[in-house]
Amino acid sequence: MESIEKTDIFISLTLSFMNPFQSHPDFYNRPIRLSPEETEPLEVLQSFFQNCPLAEVRRILWQMVETSLVVPYSVFDEAGHRQTLLWFYRELETVLEAGWLLCETKRA
Protein backbone atom coordinates (compact mmCIF):
# COMPACT_ATOMS: atom_id res chain seq x y z
CA MET A 1 0.00 0.00 0.00
CA GLU A 2 2.83 2.40 0.80
CA SER A 3 4.47 1.97 -2.63
CA ILE A 4 1.17 2.80 -4.35
CA GLU A 5 0.93 6.01 -2.36
CA LYS A 6 4.50 6.96 -3.30
CA THR A 7 3.72 6.24 -6.94
CA ASP A 8 0.60 8.40 -6.79
CA ILE A 9 2.62 11.22 -5.23
CA PHE A 10 5.33 10.85 -7.90
CA ILE A 11 2.77 11.02 -10.70
CA SER A 12 1.06 13.98 -9.08
CA LEU A 13 4.36 15.82 -8.62
CA THR A 14 5.43 15.02 -12.16
CA LEU A 15 2.20 16.43 -13.51
CA SER A 16 2.50 19.57 -11.39
CA PHE A 17 6.08 20.30 -12.40
CA MET A 18 5.67 19.38 -16.02
CA ASN A 19 2.33 21.09 -16.64
CA PRO A 20 2.39 24.85 -16.08
CA PHE A 21 -0.33 25.21 -18.73
CA GLN A 22 -3.16 24.55 -16.31
CA SER A 23 -2.04 27.17 -13.81
CA HIS A 24 -1.63 29.91 -16.46
CA PRO A 25 -4.22 29.17 -19.19
CA ASP A 26 -4.53 32.77 -20.39
CA PHE A 27 -0.82 32.95 -21.12
CA TYR A 28 -0.59 29.54 -22.81
CA ASN A 29 -3.74 29.91 -24.92
CA ARG A 30 -1.83 31.94 -27.49
CA PRO A 31 1.42 31.51 -29.44
CA ILE A 32 4.42 31.69 -27.12
CA ARG A 33 7.22 30.16 -29.21
CA LEU A 34 6.92 32.38 -32.29
CA SER A 35 9.48 35.16 -32.34
CA PRO A 36 8.49 38.66 -33.47
CA GLU A 37 10.19 37.86 -36.80
CA GLU A 38 7.96 34.82 -37.29
CA THR A 39 4.79 36.70 -38.11
CA GLU A 40 3.87 34.69 -41.19
CA PRO A 41 2.53 31.27 -40.10
CA LEU A 42 3.01 29.76 -43.56
CA GLU A 43 6.72 30.60 -43.47
CA VAL A 44 7.02 28.91 -40.09
CA LEU A 45 5.31 25.79 -41.47
CA GLN A 46 7.50 25.81 -44.58
CA SER A 47 10.64 26.07 -42.48
CA PHE A 48 9.46 23.21 -40.27
CA PHE A 49 8.68 20.88 -43.16
CA GLN A 50 11.92 21.75 -44.97
CA ASN A 51 13.84 20.58 -41.92
CA CYS A 52 11.54 17.72 -40.90
CA PRO A 53 10.07 15.45 -43.59
CA LEU A 54 6.50 14.40 -42.85
CA ALA A 55 7.51 10.74 -42.53
CA GLU A 56 10.08 11.66 -39.87
CA VAL A 57 7.55 13.80 -38.00
CA ARG A 58 5.12 10.86 -37.97
CA ARG A 59 7.87 8.53 -36.67
CA ILE A 60 8.88 10.85 -33.84
CA LEU A 61 5.29 11.61 -32.89
CA TRP A 62 4.45 7.90 -32.79
CA GLN A 63 7.55 7.18 -30.66
CA MET A 64 6.36 9.78 -28.16
CA VAL A 65 2.90 8.19 -27.98
CA GLU A 66 4.25 4.66 -27.82
CA THR A 67 6.69 5.55 -25.04
CA SER A 68 3.94 7.26 -23.07
CA LEU A 69 1.79 4.15 -23.30
CA VAL A 70 4.36 1.49 -22.41
CA VAL A 71 6.34 3.01 -19.54
CA PRO A 72 5.35 1.91 -16.04
CA TYR A 73 3.52 4.42 -13.87
CA SER A 74 2.48 6.48 -16.86
CA VAL A 75 -0.14 9.19 -16.52
CA PHE A 76 -1.88 7.16 -19.23
CA ASP A 77 -2.49 4.13 -17.00
CA GLU A 78 -6.27 4.49 -17.30
CA ALA A 79 -8.01 3.42 -20.49
CA GLY A 80 -9.75 6.77 -20.88
CA HIS A 81 -6.44 8.62 -20.73
CA ARG A 82 -4.93 6.31 -23.35
CA GLN A 83 -7.97 6.85 -25.57
CA THR A 84 -7.57 10.62 -25.25
CA LEU A 85 -3.87 10.41 -26.09
CA LEU A 86 -4.57 8.38 -29.22
CA TRP A 87 -7.34 10.78 -30.25
CA PHE A 88 -4.97 13.72 -29.78
CA TYR A 89 -2.27 11.93 -31.77
CA ARG A 90 -4.65 11.46 -34.71
CA GLU A 91 -5.83 15.06 -34.53
CA LEU A 92 -2.28 16.43 -34.35
CA GLU A 93 -1.25 14.24 -37.26
CA THR A 94 -4.18 15.65 -39.26
CA VAL A 95 -3.08 19.22 -38.43
CA LEU A 96 0.47 18.36 -39.51
CA GLU A 97 -0.84 16.97 -42.80
CA ALA A 98 -2.87 20.14 -43.35
CA GLY A 99 0.23 22.25 -42.71
CA TRP A 100 2.25 20.10 -45.08
CA LEU A 101 -0.41 20.46 -47.79
CA LEU A 102 -0.42 24.26 -47.34
CA CYS A 103 3.32 24.30 -47.87
CA GLU A 104 3.15 22.04 -50.91
CA THR A 105 0.34 24.09 -52.46
CA LYS A 106 2.29 27.31 -51.88
CA ARG A 107 5.43 25.78 -53.40
CA ALA A 108 3.65 24.61 -56.57
Q: Which amino acid is at 55?
A: A
Question: Does residue 32 contact residue 74 with C-beta atoms inside 8 Å?
Answer: no
Question: Does residue 42 contact residue 103 with C-beta atoms inside 8 Å?
Answer: yes
Instruction: Name the pTM for this structure.
Output: 0.70
pLDDT of amino acid 80 = 87
Question: Does residue 105 contact residue 45 with C-beta atoms inside 8 Å?
Answer: no
pLDDT of amino acid 11 = 45
- List per-block mean pLDDT (blocks of 10 residues) for the chain, which spans 108 residues: 44 52 82 87 93 95 93 84 91 95 86
